[in-house]
Structure 1
Amino acid sequence: MTERPLDLDAVQAFVRIAELGSFTRAAETARTTQSAISLKLKRLEERLGCRLVERTPRRVQLSAQGAVFLDHARELLEAQDRAFAAFDATRQRLAIGISDHVAGPELPALIARMNAQDPQLVIEIRLGTSSALLQSYDQRELDVVMVRQHAGRDDGEVLKEESFGWFAAPDWQQRAGEPLPLATMPEPCGVRNMACELLDKAGVPWTEVFVGGGVTAVSAAVMARLGVAALARRMLPLGAVDVGPRLGLPQLPRLPILLHSRVGDGRPRDAIAALAAAFRSAVRD
């Protein structure tokens, strides 16, 4: 190989492909096209004289050489970040609100991806109900929110749609003749309101037996056999089962997850693009 230096933009494109497992998601993160990402990878592979990524119709997988180069690629990008940080004493802050019904087990990976995108960015995460977070966003207390679709709001970007079910502990049984016991989050939780309205329309008697301040608390009540909860499938406590078909409960619709952002160009915008791409990759149907 010649002494021609590596193109760090191409190195970053490779790292994004490796971490997100997708050319499409890598392009979203970089706010560019899939063909541009592919071209950068091709040039990097030509520069190194080896194939870094094996492409198949179903997935993207690193080659043996790609797996070896990945750690070195990250080190190169970290060195670049340190060099820039030496000349940039200001640390920008990004305030993000994430609905409790959205912040699932993927949250640590999402935070890590944003930090990898910009280690100098101060990330503030606030959890809450969609309505409360949207109110804070409208009052400019938050720069970005990721929430369930909210009544009367169509100004967000759809990140994903998720299916819901009626979940209970595996050995839970409804007592004959009694209304359906529900574990919910407090009003004005949109998921709670949706579930209760569907039960009312279907003529299913119900009673609220537990109100939790978050999905974690509601899941704990489910596994404590207090009753049934309407939850997204990826938010389930281990071992919970969908009792909707057995009890003849109304089918719950798929609900969109929306990204509302007022962040303009620059480093925070890149971090939000990384967050959105990582969320789409992490949350499977």
Structure 2
Amino acid sequence: MTERPLDLDSVRAFICIAELGNFTRAAEAMRTTQAAISLKLKRLEERVGCRLVERTPRYVQLSARGDAFLEHARELLEVHDRALAIFGEPRQRLTIGISDHVAGPELPALIARMNAQDPQLLIEIRIGSSGDLLQSFDRRELDTVIVRLHAGRSDGDMLTEEKFGWFASSGWQHRAGEPLPLATMAEPCGVRAMAGQLLDAAGVPWTEIFVGGGVAAVVAAVMAGLGVAALAPRMLPFGAVDVGHRLSLPDLPRLPVLLHTRVKEGRPRDALAALSAAFRSAVRG
């Protein structure tokens, strides 16, 4: 007798859990409930006859068999999606703008998550400042933007809040009596403006020592020992240190990350749900 085939929706749920490391995020990515995700995984484990995921109160981890099955599960869905693509609609385009202060080292993994959600979706991503991206969004040049909270805007859905700090290279020392040397992004940059306002309010003398066209350039200046920058910890390589407390610098607030989109349904919306869930997992981690 032919064995019962695998349920592809359950396989997709297993992949989401494995990649996002969290049942809640997997539910967000698949636009369903955590209970539904748990049920799909349970059915898959019953079908294959073993536990694929080890659950603890603090984390989710693949079992040895789950780890071995993961790559085969991905291949199964890829073949399935390619087979269906020949009958599908013309390839849809989704244009996304991501703030340079938001798009960190996790960006390749986020793009991969979106592609896994829908390999037939043409994804176009632009990196820029939050202000410029919001203007492009308002001109309908972008379908979606993921940006920092911007002055004068109260719309958008909050994805997460992220901690910022005053970072320098491990060997950097501030010369007594001199203004704080600051590495910043070029205007318009909300983080740049916020950092300057907080330093002024605290009575901390400062001067721009480096202006970069992106976060990668600012990080390079910090690690080269030029000075201090206001950055999210995940943007920096190992070896950077938070010098805020040592230099008695003002505390930086947790900054919201907002999603603005006109995409409400269909395949692009499913891909955005996967991106949002993956981003929350990356920032939380």
User: Does TM, scored on the shorter chain, surpass 0.5?
Assistant: yes
Q: Distance in 1 between matches of 2:171 and 2:73?
A: 50
Distance 1:237 1:44, change over 3 A: closer
- SS of residue paired to 1:247: coil
User: How far does residue 2 in structure 1 lie from its aligned partner after superposition?
Assistant: 5.2
**Partner amino acid, structure 2, of 1:201:** A
- Structure 1: tracts of 5 or more residues without a match: none
Give me the identity figure in percent.
78
Measure, in 2, the Cα distance between the counterparts of 1:62 and 1:156. Answer: 35
- Say whether residues 1:31 and 2:23 are aligned partners: no
Give the root-mean-square deviation of aligned CA atoms: 1.5
Q: In 2, distance between residues paired with 1:4 and 1:161?
A: 45
**Aligned-partner Cα distance in 1 for 2:66–2:225:** 48
- Return structure 1 stretches of 4+ with deviation > 6 angstroms: none
Alignment of 1:134-283 (within 5 A): 134-283=134-283
Q: Deviations over 1:125-180 (max 9, x none)?
A: 10010000011111111111111111122221211211111111222222222211
Q: Which amino acid aligns with 1:255?
A: L
Cα distance in 2 for partners of 1:119, 1:181 equals 46
Q: For 2:260, what is the secondary structure of its paired residue?
A: strand
Counterpart code for 1:10: S
1:89 Cα deviation after fit: 5.7
Q: What's the CA shift string for 1:188-235, capped at 9, x where partnerless? A: 210011000001111111111211100111111112222211111111
Measured against aligned partners, the alpha-carbon deviations of 1:95-125 in whole angstroms (never above 9, x if no partner) come to 1111000111100100111111111111111
1 CA distance for matches of 2:50 and 2:176? 67
Q: Distance in 2 between matches of 1:230 and 1:104?
A: 14
Gaps of 5+ in 2: none
- Secondary structure at the aligned position of 2:284 is classed as coil
Shift of 1:284: 2.6
What residue number does 1:52 align with? 52
Mapped partners of 1:174, 1:73: distance in 2: 53
Kindly provide the amino acid, as one letter, of the partner of residue 151 in structure 2: A
Aligned residues: 285
What does residue 84 of structure 1 align with? 84
TM-score, length of structure 2 as denominator length: 0.96
